[in-house]
Each structure stands twice: as structure tokens, then as C-alpha cells.
Amino acid sequence: MTSSHTLTHSYYSAFYAEKGFRFLEQIAKDYALPDNLVVFSVMHCYEGTLPYLNVLCQLADHVIFLPKQATFCNNSSLLNTIETIENCQTVAPGFDKIALRDPACCVELIRRYTTDEQAFLILDHGGYFAHGAEAILETFSNACVGIAELTANGVAKYRNRHLLKPLVSVAHLSIKTPADYEASECIVHYTDQILREAFGLKLNNQGFLSIGVIGSGNLGRGICKTLQGKGIHELYVSDQDPRRLTAMPRNGIQVCSTETMLNHCNLIFCCTGNGALHTAHLQSRRENLFVATVTSADDELNLPELIHNGTLRYIGGNALVKEYKNQHKASIYLLAGGESANTPFKTGMGDPTLYLFEAAHLLAGLQLASQNHGYAAGIQALSAQDEIFIAEQWLRFFYHYS
């Protein structure tokens, strides 16, 4: 591997960049990839992306970077830095999350950046290619080496699809848990900051805000824990799977249905990644509601459909808040515009837990591309042995583990 790399967009992000880069290099060092491999990589437009992207670009012949819209809108200048990375190209306008819901658009994207029978790998994040997966794998059955997906909501979008090649998920690995809890802390912190900046409110303004959390996975539990750490003890939690709720009452949290929560709460954290709130929840609302999500309003509310069917009407907003009204003229305030509530703010490399899930995603992709693996067609997880390998390497690089 060459030592030439671009790891930072600004001086203040450099603290962990080199260390993270070397760690990811170590994860990748034993893999040889096919000549002329093209990688389609869906990633956040964060500075924390740069070490990962640099390692990827040193391994592949060409990397097509598809920025996730939530962070691209707030960090578009970072694309200028990304474009300086050798072998890296930002995807052409028009191939965004909404457009890729059309399978024909997905096929067109692959055709634009590959030649006949040229091998390619998809590193997905949030199921961007899920709607077109069957068309891609049928059209390019010999060229596509497989798909690696980073998130649980992304994997859910691939379920019940006929996949002719392996899809390796790293969504539910135990080593992803620290980053999920870090994300939970960030989301609560920045939700508080948005409320203060835009409304003059604080999360712990008892009497003004009553808080509910939909979803009790890693992110939902982390948000509850962080809220309690801020002195907020009257919390409501719902989940489609009642098994997940059984641990909540012993922690002083009220369990309920989503409908009951909406009767009691005016601030909702949506932590499912897949349809936390539905049309019926919002069209009958008669009081204002604040909504924060851990993914996006598309995933958690199906916002385009709510607008299309007239349930919500856009009023206005900015990078911190977007306001919609329903038929009863109740305002629905989407904090961070409906994206994950930490996306309006800068994310650098100061948290090494970011590199755990990046390493897992990278390793899954390298295994697929090297074609020296035991994966079958369809969805499966990275192995426990691989997860242990990543954890040991990470502990050595960042915490002198031996």
C-alpha cells in the first residue's frame, strides 16, 4: 500500500485520523482484490469517512462514492477533499437515495461506472441499493461479487428479495454496540442543542416537554440511558417486540403502545429505522409534536408519502428544524430536518468506536471481493471469528491491549 493519503478536511480533525487509517490498513493487509475492481460505497459525508475511504481506494481500482444525503447537505465542501483521493470519484448528480428506488436507475448507475464483465462490489449503508438489488444481480450476475450492508434498517430493506449473490450484514455485531451507544449520546446531546437554539427549550424542561422513545434496540436503550443521565425520569417506551420491553420497568421507564405514548408525549425519539410513526399517528394529531430520528424521516415516517397523500404540508425551516402541519393545523417539528439529530453538526475522528463498524464493513467487502469465502447467496452475518479478530486489533491499536 502506498503511504500517500488524504485523511483530514480541516486541521482540527486530525487527532485520530492517522491511527484510524493504520488500523483499517491492518485489517485489510492480507487481502488481494481482483484487478480493475470497482467499489460502489455509500457513506456519510463526514470527516470520519476519510481514513476508511483512503484504505478502500488503495485496494480497489476505482471507488464510486455515494454520499448519504443527510450529511452531504451539511458537509458538501468535504466533497472537494474527497475528490483529491486517488482512485476516488463522487457519483454523478441524479443517483441519490430517492432515484435509486427505481431498479432501472440502479442498473444505469452500474453501467455508467463499469465496463462489460468488470468486477464490482457494493458497500451499502441504509439499503440504498435494496430496491434495485434483484435487477443488479440478474443483469450483472458474473460481475457483481456481492453486497455488504452496514445497518439494521438497511438489511430490513433487502429482506424478502431474491438475492443471487451473498449479502453480508454487519448490523447486529456486538462490536457495533459501542458506536450505537455513542450515537445515542450524540443524538440526545444535539437534540437538546437544537431545542435550545430553535425554541428556547431544554430536554429537561419538565412541564413543557414529555418524552417518548419508539424502539428499544441499542439506540433506543442508549437514548433512554442518556436521557435519564440528564435527570429525565418520566419516560415512555414502545416497541413492536414486547420481549424488548421487559427490561424497561426495572429501570424506571413506562412501557406502552405507540398510541398511548402519543397521548402523553410531545417529543418523540424514533429509533426503529423502519416506520416508527404512521399516517394514522400524525393525521389525527391535534397538538404540536417534536420528532427526532436516529436514521431519517424517510425511514421512520415515510415522509414523502405523508406529503404526497396530504397528511403533512411543509411550512418552512432551516438546517436545525423543518415544520409541517397536518389537517388539524398541529405543527410537526422535525428536528435536524428529520435526519439523525447529530447530522447538522461536525463529526470528526475523535471517537475510535467509529472504526469498529467501519472495519467490519470493510472486512466483509474484502472477503466478498477476494472470492475466498464460504458465503452463500442471500443474507448472512460476518462470523464471530472475524468479529473477535477486529476487536483484538482495535484494542491493540487504541488501548495497548495485549
pLDDT in tens, 16-27: 788 889 999 999
Report helix angle 354-370 to 384-399, nearest 10.
130
pLDDT score at 46:
80
Alpha-carbon distance of 362 to 62, in angstroms, equals 15
Per-domain boundaries in the chain: 11-172+349-399, 177-338
Phi, psi torsion values for 315, nearest 5 degrees = -105, -45
pLDDT score at 197:
95
pLDDT score at 10:
65
**Pairing mode, if any, of strands 331-335 and 378-381?**
unpaired
Domain pair 11-172+349-399 / 177-338, same fold: yes
List the CATH code of the domain at 177-338: 3.40.50.720
- Count CB-CB contacts under 10 A for residue 233: 12
pLDDT score at 70:
66
Alpha-carbon distance of 230 to 293, in angstroms, equals 19
Confidence at 73, pLDDT banded by 50, 70, 90: low
| Least-confidence region, from 321-330, 348-357, 358-367, 388-397 | 348-357
Confidence at 14, pLDDT banded by 50, 70, 90: low
Alpha-carbon distance of 147 to 150, in angstroms, equals 10
The pLDDT mean for the chain works out to 91
Q: Which residue has the higher pLDDT, 303 or 6?
A: 303
Confidence at 394, pLDDT banded by 50, 70, 90: very high
Confidence at 63, pLDDT banded by 50, 70, 90: very high
Phi, psi torsion values for 389, nearest 5 degrees = -60, -45
Instruction: Reply yes or no on whether the pLDDT at 267 is more than 80.
Output: yes
Provide mean pLDDT across the span 41-69. Answer: 91
Alpha-carbon distance of 108 to 98, in angstroms, equals 14
Confidence at 44, pLDDT banded by 50, 70, 90: confident
pLDDT score at 32:
85
Q: Which residue has the higher pLDDT, 83 or 70?
A: 83
| Least-confidence region, from 75-84, 101-110, 130-139, 355-364 | 75-84
Cα-based angle 76, 79, 85 (whole degrees, multiple of 5): 165
Phi, psi torsion values for 254, nearest 5 degrees = -80, 120
- CATH architecture entry for 11-172+349-399: 3-Layer(aba) Sandwich (3.40)
- What percent of the chain has a predicted confidence (pLDDT) above 70? 94
pLDDT score at 3:
44
pLDDT in tens, 176-224: 999 888 889 999 999 999 999 999 999 998 889 999 999 999 999 999 9
pLDDT in tens, 338-370: 988 777 665 555 678 889 999 999 999 999 999
Write down the H helix ranges in 200-339: 218-229, 258-264, 279-283, 297-301, 303-308
pLDDT score at 157:
93
pLDDT score at 1:
40
pLDDT score at 344:
67
| Least-confidence region, from 3-12, 78-87, 258-267 | 3-12
Alpha-carbon distance of 164 to 36, in angstroms, equals 22
Alpha-carbon distance of 58 to 53, in angstroms, equals 9
pLDDT in tens, 228-244: 999 998 999 999 999 99
Confidence at 78, pLDDT banded by 50, 70, 90: confident
Task: Give me the DSSP letters along 333-388.
Answer: EEEGGGSBTTTTS---S--TTHHHHHHHHHHHHHHHHHT-S---SEEEEPPHHHHH
